[in-house]
Amino acid sequence: MRAVVFEKVGKAPEIQEVTLEAPCAGEVKVKIAGAGVCGSDLHVQRGEWELPMPLVMGHEGSGVVVELGEGVTNLAIGDHVVLSWVAPCGVCKYCKLGREAQCALVASVVAPEGVLHDGTSRLSRDGKPYHHYLGVSSYADFAVVPASGAIKVRTDAPLDLIALVGCAVATGVGAVKNTAKVPAGSTVAVIGCGGVGLSAVQGARMIGASRIIAIDINPDKVALAKTLGATDSIVVARDADPAEALRELMEEGVDFAFDAIGHPSTTEAVIRMLALGGAAVIVGLPRVGATASFEPLTLAEADQRILGSNYGSIRPAVDIPWLVDQYMDGNLKLEEMVSARRPLEEAASALADLEKGEALRQILIP
């Protein structure tokens, strides 16, 4: 099959002919309908995360089940699925507690080693093993994934578009709904109006936040955030302080501030945005080793919190179908977040456009 392969830092990803083995026990093969281009893919391309190479890129995707591995009973050939890069093992402490986004197997084996649940890969080229990216590798014609990472959804939803639910939308909406548990009537600020930030804005609208402030350096992105639910928008210069700009609008600060960028400066800014009793939620992912600072005395005296949000603290089998239903019911907007649909061969260009800040969510169509 065709797949977008990343071999080493400094070399652009390229289309290659790759061998994909049949699914093993507990796995399924999915024909990819759409794969979202995510900021996390840029971390790989920049070499900011330590991952084994070569790997087949892509962790946001959707498609149709075309083959079942031994023992798979919860899915059938022809099912429409959204791929979850957290495919819960179901047996670790965190999965048993209902905290699948923290699955120990995914965190310790699948993600860092570029393999599936059994510790091996289904990908190769000329006999040389290739690695899976976050257990998905959706920049390809097909993917073999654990069955728990192929989430069955309704068949009347547009199959390529709902790929976004597999990462950006689940992460952003989930950060509001699950991680922070934002109550209706709260005030919310979101730094970064990419796919995750725009989804956080929508999540805040969906729960009934009284005021939602979208912050970005790109005026077009904050304008889009206004159409998706933001009540206020702030365009900041690249070297300006977002917290200072927020305080000019709301002197008392906000109840919840979301960092959808994941840079130390934006993390520090959301902490400084908080009102008394507020919570800063770190959603965007930084490079390995990045650190941020805050004043502990202020945090303690103001009874504030700092929360980390991995994958929106979602339960994939529960939250992903719910999000698709929300889209189909008109409560969640997805098409507005898509800046382009591109063929798989344009993956490198799509990543370059994302790097330059010239694109929102792009969908690769095999």
Q: Which residues are catalytic?
A: 38, 40, 43, 59, 167
- 64 with 89: CB under 8 angstroms? no
Residue 327 phi, psi (nearest 5): -65, -45
43-46: which pairs have CB atoms within 8 A and are 24 or more residues apart?
43/285, 43/287, 44/6, 44/133, 45/6, 45/9, 45/13, 45/351, 45/355, 46/9, 46/287
How distant, in Å, are the alpha carbons of 214, 224, 236, 241, 287 from that of 217?
10, 13, 5, 11, 20
- Strands 187-191 and 254-259 turn out to be parallel
Interatomic CA distance for residues 35 and 304, integer angstroms: 38
State both tokens at 119. Answer: 């510790």
Secondary structure letter of residue 163 according to DSSP: G
> What's the length of the chain?
366
